[in-house]
Structure 1
């Protein structure tokens, strides 16, 4: 991200883009990395207990894991390419996404295929907005400073830590929960807050509010996509998926409350970055911070 002068507010285009584009791209990167880690963790367990799990999971289910792993890799690569303004990457994303969705519908019960398709379809819709075409046509305005790169890295790490800690706290199992090592999750939340504050201090003053808003909104979008994935496992829908699936209820109320609070903070930070209290028009699109 290119830093701005101390008393300038970074420009982020119109009220919905390119901020929305950055959010979906970074959320895609976050989810791809986390999905791949989860699948790798489960694959290790599967390798040790292959005989037992082979009787528990159908061939279609195991094939769907392979499809999901391949999609996580493709989505990660093309999302990074789009952050670097490689326009052909969005065509690859849309094509690979369509193939992945078709494979899910062929291998999985329809509720699981539908919830898997929702984030992909929403991302494709953002990628093909008119203003996104302008983003790919723009020329990056310069290399990021060392200070900006350090701040970006800390913001990214804090978002990933919050995502893993939040899900690990409410799910109570899996590698995200095992990371606590028997300690209360509070320690991880404190670590997230310390890293976030450090990132804010390092970031240039003009970029702090916008970058904070994007970082929190990436978490919100990624968490929303993860929560959608649990909808088919509710008692209301699990019967539609057949005898190989069991109901699994998450704490919808507390999870949604925390997500809503952080979504409000993210919205407030993004509006603050725009100087909404001055009732001014958005600056020209060309001065947008460059994440390339």
Structure 2
């Protein structure tokens, strides 16, 4: 049975990235709810529109990703339309480096969803139902989701020395959440079917790599060397770029190796010899 690995990674990345964006926005609003009026007034109008565009795009992306998991073809259409409108609005409202960084995310995801594999995935009900059947498979999926999420939050917090984990767990040691992420992915692998353990673990790691790479791309315009192109309303953002790129590359290489190891060979068509009799 075909696994549609690339399509699944794209859909899972859509869901995880948009969900984390919405949670981050909600936590920001909750943290500064008492000073929301003064904080809102401190930002220019263009920045407020930028927040609204990003919020709406994340919401549509989450809905589209969940629809695609259920095999709804309108999910990729809604994502593509929202991406086009969001990019157009970004280039109108935001500085060009910020708008430009959003292009690879939208183009790569749209290309995968509208590829031949994406079309076949939407038509293959058996592959989708088989991947999520049974309580063990569902619990394993939950472990993989939590592992990718925890790994992403930990990595981003390590590289930026800020974020959700620092606010919730001040003084947290990074190795504890890294161990927790490793344990979760191991539990998910053990609960998966015997022939799919390495593959599902590789998918979970690759989802982290994709989401993390897109997040790093979003931080790129705020690097000290590029922040001056954003205008006076924006400030540079310090990040341990060497650590971020190195760790993402290592995990990406590991995930790619696992996916290659678990690749299911396609059956070859039987040879037909000419009949000379």
The two structures share one fold, judged by TM-score above 0.5: yes
2:121 alignment partner, SS class: helix
Structure 1 equivalent of residue 226 of structure 2: 237
Question: Displacement of 1:175 after TM fit?
Answer: 1.6
Deviations 1:234-290 (A, max 9, x none): 222211111011111311111111111111111111111126xxxxx4259xxxxxx
- Contact 2:101–2:217 (CA under 8 A) maintained in structure 1: yes
The total of aligned residue pairs comes to: 265
Q: Counterparts of 2:218 and 2:108 in 1: how far apart (Å)?
A: 15
Q: Comparing 19-28 with 140-149, which one deviates more in the overlay?
A: 140-149
Q: RMSD of the alignment, in Å?
A: 1.7
Distance in 1 (CA, whole Å) between partners of 2:94 and 2:160 is: 23
**Distance in 1 between the 2:36 and 2:118 partners?**
45
Q: Could you say which residue in structure 2 is the equivalent of 1:166? A: 155
Are 2:86 and 1:90 equivalent residues in the alignment?
no
4+ aligned runs moved over 6 Å, structure 1: none
- Aligned ranges for residues 68-83 of structure 1 at < 5 Å? 68-83=54-69
> Does the Cα contact within 8 Å between 1:154 and 1:196 map onto a contact in 2?
yes
| Aligned twin of 1:62 | 48
Assess if the C-alpha contact under 8 Å between 2:147 and 2:184 holds in 1. yes
Deviation at 1:101, TM superposition (A): 1.2
Shift of 1:51: 4.6
Residues 44-53 or 61-70, more deviating? 44-53
Partner of 2:14: 28
Paired position in structure 1 for 2:266:
282
1:188 to 154, 177, 181: 177
Larger Rg: 2
Structure 1 unpaired stretches of 5+: 1-9, 13-17, 276-280, 285-292
Check 1:162–1:179 CA distance in 2 against 1; reply closer, same or farther (3 A cut). farther
Greater RCO, CA 8 A, separation 6+: 1
Contact 2:65 2:75 in 1 (8 A): yes
- Name the residue aligned to 2:103: 117
TM-score, normalisation: structure 1? 0.86
